[in-house]
Chain A
Amino acid sequence: MTRTAGTRRTSSAGTGKQLLRLATAGSVDDGKSTLIGRLLLDSKLLLQDTLEALHRNGKNGAPDLASITDGLRAEREQGITIDVAYRYFTTPRRSFIIADTPGHERYTRNMVTGASTAELAVILIDARHGIVEQSRRHACLSALLGIRHMVAAVNKMDLVSWDEARFLEIEGQFLALAERLGVPDARAFPISALDGDNVVEPGAAGWYHGPPLLAHLEAIDVASDRSGGPLRMPVQWVIRPEDGARGERRYAGQVAGGTLRPGDEVVVLPAGSRTTVTAVETVDGPLESASSPDSVSVRLADDLDVGRGDILCGPDDLPVSGRQIQATVCWMSEAPLRAGEHVALKHTTRTVRAAVESIDALLDVTTLIDGAAPDAIGLNDIARLTLRTAAPVVADPYSENRTTGAFILIDEDSNDTVGAGMVRAVREGGRPPEHSPGVTWHESGLERDHRWDSLGTRGATVWLTGLPASGKSTVAAQLERILVEDGHPAYFLDGDNLRHGLSGDLAFSPADRTENIRRVAHVARLMADAGMVAIASLVSPAHHDRALARELHEAAGLPFLEVYVDTPVEVAERRDPKGLYARARAGKLEDFTGVSAPYEVPQRPDVVVHGAEEVVRDSAERVRAALERIWFPGG
């Protein structure tokens, strides 16, 4: 981070040391834990009480180095490492974070997790056994996760009498493997972790003239891996000035690639609007520039609608925005994944719903070669998938950016993280296209403000969502009445009425509901643009469908008000004017929201109406007041 003159802090601040995040994998048999213990011990990072505990656990007076890394009681009892553990050590030249993971196949997901943030991988190789399946797997996963620096720690050299030929043989195989995996920087070290040879201090072999392992870890340059590439900054949070004071909004986020400077032109995706950066700041003052991994805030020249989930990008090299994602996914759940299933997908700061369109291949994790496409993938499988998302995702290939190319998959029922994904390609598609082929949007030549001012009106869409029989339509009809009687054009788009004609071809499956909502959202947008208040009343049970309706309006610069009619299901069921709940309970109605299909409660509705206890007129008045606050913010 470069600070502007005058705000630069004195050089006594900070330690000036660089951070290196490294991943290890392997079992106690490889001596992985012993190696970590040795690094900590010889770099004097183990403190007295920890050492005493090691000696208590050790045999014949020698410290049990391996026990340093077994954190949980179950691990100590079973003598194995189960989970990812993070270790910290620092030398006069560098600070290290070690992500320490078990090496067995059934812990592939832990290895993937540990490797996801690492810049360097240490592959443990037992000199007696050479490169075995486990070392191959770890090298492959590290390469897959985009780690550019790899080190082979050829351990237990004392058990092969420090045989140079044996080391050279393993080194040759390892370098060939790294080359095939496309790892640009690979190197092998002969060591004995148990005796401490060539780990921190030089070792017993007269024929080895290279540095000890630690010296290499201290010297390696990883800073250049992070910088470079085009600008990417996912917006996390909008900082608004305190207490309603007027002032510019700041868009906060962590730079994920490239360099951000005041005066630079940026493109806000997915909207595509262009603007100029007027300031890059932190609490400590303005910056001349920021790059990965700086967390900063940004001010923009134009008053655009920018929010969480948007990405600020350099204008020349834009990521692809689309709904079809081809990705490599590591599956982390006991429950298998099949084509057609739905998950939530979190990518940078945006979460969208996704369906598995197809499973395209299963990867062999010891070769990274594509195998046949299975019907389902299970725990620890790594597969090529095609995903279709409910809203566009703006992503880079993972090979180009480890932040904007990565995503996690979340099970919507259990809320667990069930998959880790790396983007290979993004395509538009998987959805009805934005427009028919060969047509372009016709601008009428009449500016919206001019239209609205001339007609003395304002447009907006009010979107009422809630369970069937929650009272949405009653509130909608009341709102329509009070607006129209005040001389404000408004029109009630009733869910049932829309399913005559416009959506008459659709049923109630999730896909059909999504399509219905898409159509209604487009109709509402046109009406709002014309200067009317479109009042849509739809159950619209899924977050992603409502989000789509909102995005459509926000992209067009039109107000969109989500009103959640919060009526308990017992109350709605008691009302049941159309006898629908009764039919659903009797099993005669499939996919009935509240009974046999889920309703996703809005996380941040603009207005909440209490359908069970509030007078309808009061509810409608509150919605109107909210509309007026949007149209006339100061008034």
Chain B
Amino acid sequence: MSASDHLHALESEAVHVFREVAAELERPVLLFSGGKDSIVLLRLAEKAFRPGRFPFPVLHVDTGHNFPEVLEYRDRRVREIGERLIVAKVEDSIAAGRAREEWDPGRPGTSRNRLQTVTLLDAIEQGRFDAAFGGARRDEERARAKERIFSFRDDFGQWDPRAQRPELWNLYNGRIRRGEHVRVFPISNWTELDVWHYIQQERLELPSIYFAHEREVFEHDGMLYARSEWVEPSSQTFTESVRYRTVGDMTITGAVRSAALAVADVITEIAATRVTERGETRADDRTSEAAMEDRKRQGYF
């Protein structure tokens, strides 16, 4: 045994999780947003199953407010790896009367985040999926720190933090009843920096918005939002060199000022940063201290 670095240990753990789910659950699906965490998941799935095919399809919940760069990347990447992509659209949930837009569309900070949950749960039900891989990490937020790698959802997709199964050693219990499903987080133990180091190590391509680019932005509530067809600027717009730390809806994802053109530059910037990823760039998590816990209870990732 050579001195294995911690990224290697985290990778081995995640690959083990992927294989356990494939073996013990009937119909898994991998949730892919085109964001950096799900890009890492896709790479880990290759590590777990190549040269065989993935024993599951890839699912994207399209809010209709995504960055075009991310959608382009999504289609290309899934084509490259030759796996099946399912796209579930929030638009369709709205059209079908399953979901309703919240407050004022067009206002920055207004989002389809909660609507996304409806579309996700519908897609899980339609596909009869019993396991969904997601890229959530425990370092993101306090409620996540206590969530299991195998996180159970009842037949309404809800999470009960008080009724979680103990998770010991590397022995995961994937038994569920019909109608229930399990969210599986193979990179639970990774930090934001681990993800970036892994992207560097594996030379993974990312959507261009993760790197510094010129963009027309405006300031709202202390965050920088991009001007887009879905967001009405609430203040004077200006052009700034920015990048994104997370990829969500254009309506809720804030940009950070940056000059980082390559992965190494981003790592340097993150190592020096003094604000958490979600606190800095996600309006949805700043709503209240228990914001994430509440949304998770309702079935959000």
| B146 pairs with A19, CB closer than 8 A | no
Please give, as numbers and ranges, the residues of chain B lying within 8 Å of A226 by CB-CB distance: 1
Please give, as numbers and ranges, the residues of chain B lying within 8 Å of A283 by CB-CB distance: 46-47, 50
Interface of A: prevailing SS: mixed
Which one of A153-161, A410-418, A527-535, A558-566 contacts B?
A410-418
Closest beta carbon of chain B to A314's beta carbon, Å: 15
Which one of A236-244, A271-279, A439-447 contacts B?
A236-244
Which one of B28-36, B226-234, B237-245, B275-283 contacts A?
B275-283
Of residues 1 through 60 on chain A, the ones whose CB sits less than 8 Å from some CB of chain B are 1-2, 9, 12-19, 47-50, 53
Q: Among B12, B142, B161, B191, which residue has its beta carbon within 8 angstroms of that of A254?
A: B12
Please give, as numbers and ranges, the residues of chain A lying within 8 Å of B200 by CB-CB distance: 12-13
| A242 pairs with B53, CB closer than 8 A | yes
Please give, as numbers and ranges, the residues of chain B lying within 8 Å of A239 by CB-CB distance: 49-52
Binary A-proximity of B150-176 (CB < 8 A = 1, otherwise 0): 000000000001101111111101011
| A88 pairs with B191, CB closer than 8 A | yes
Q: Among B4, B173, B279, which residue has its beta carbon within 8 angstroms of that of A417?
A: B173
Give the docked Cα–Cα distance between A292 and B9 (Å): 9
Closest beta carbon of chain B to A505's beta carbon, Å: 35
Q: B80 at the A/B interface (Cβ < 8 Å)?
A: no
**Known: A1-B2, A420-B166. Contact between A47 and B273, CB under 8 A?**
yes
Of residues 186 through 227 on chain B, the ones whose CB sits less than 8 Å from some CB of chain A are 188-189, 191, 193-194, 197, 200-201
Which one of A109-117, A125-133, A491-499, A623-631 contacts B?
A109-117
**Known: A19-B6, A47-B274. Contact between A406 and B12, CB under 8 A?**
no
Give the docked Cα–Cα distance between A72 and B296 (Å): 12
Of residues 8 through 46 on chain B, the ones whose CB sits less than 8 Å from some CB of chain A are 8-13, 15-16, 19-20, 22-23, 26, 46
Q: B290 at the A/B interface (Cβ < 8 Å)?
A: yes
Q: A323 at the A/B interface (Cβ < 8 Å)?
A: no
**Most chain A Cβ neighbours within 10 Å, of B10, B19, B138, B200:** B19
| B6 pairs with A95, CB closer than 8 A | yes
Q: A524 at the A/B interface (Cβ < 8 Å)?
A: no
Give the docked Cα–Cα distance between A86 and B168 (Å): 13
Give the docked Cα–Cα distance between A308 and B23 (Å): 8
Which of under 10, 10 to 19, 20 to 34, or 35 or more describes the interface residues of A?
Answer: 35 or more
| B6 pairs with A53, CB closer than 8 A | no
Of residues 481 through 515 on chain A, the ones whose CB sits less than 8 Å from some CB of chain B are none
Give the docked Cα–Cα distance between A9 and B11 (Å): 15
Please give, as numbers and ranges, the residues of chain B lying within 8 Å of A85 by CB-CB distance: 145-146
| B164 pairs with A83, CB closer than 8 A | yes
| A259 pairs with B1, CB closer than 8 A | yes
Q: A603 at the A/B interface (Cβ < 8 Å)?
A: yes
Please give, as numbers and ranges, the residues of chain A lying within 8 Å of B46 by CB-CB distance: 283
| B138 pairs with A88, CB closer than 8 A | yes
| A14 pairs with B16, CB closer than 8 A | no
Which residue in chain B gives the minimum CB-CB distance to A412? B175
Q: Among A17, A253, A291, which residue has its beta carbon within 8 angstroms of that of B5?
A: A17
Closest beta carbon of chain A to B139's beta carbon, Å: 5
| A237 pairs with B173, CB closer than 8 A | no
Q: Among A47, A240, A282, which residue has its beta carbon within 8 angstroms of that of B47?
A: A282
| B23 pairs with A236, CB closer than 8 A | yes
Q: B293 at the A/B interface (Cβ < 8 Å)?
A: yes
| B143 pairs with A71, CB closer than 8 A | yes
**Most chain A Cβ neighbours within 10 Å, of B6, B164, B166:** B166
| B169 pairs with A19, CB closer than 8 A | no
14 inter-chain pairs at a CB distance below 8 angstroms, sorted by A residue, are: A1-B4, A12-B200, A74-B162, A83-B164, A88-B139, A88-B191, A94-B6, A241-B51, A283-B46, A293-B13, A344-B175, A406-B169, A410-B173, A417-B166
B residues at A contact (CB < 8 Å): 1-13, 15-16, 19-20, 22-23, 26, 46-53, 138-139, 142-146, 161-162, 164-171, 173, 175-177, 188-189, 191, 193-194, 197, 200-201, 273-276, 279-280, 289-290, 293
A residues at B contact (CB < 8 Å): 1-2, 9, 12-19, 47-50, 53, 70-74, 76, 82-88, 90, 94-95, 97, 109-110, 112-113, 116-117, 223, 226-227, 236-237, 239-243, 247, 250, 252-254, 259, 282-283, 291-295, 308, 332, 344, 346-347, 349, 402-403, 406-408, 410, 415-417, 420, 603
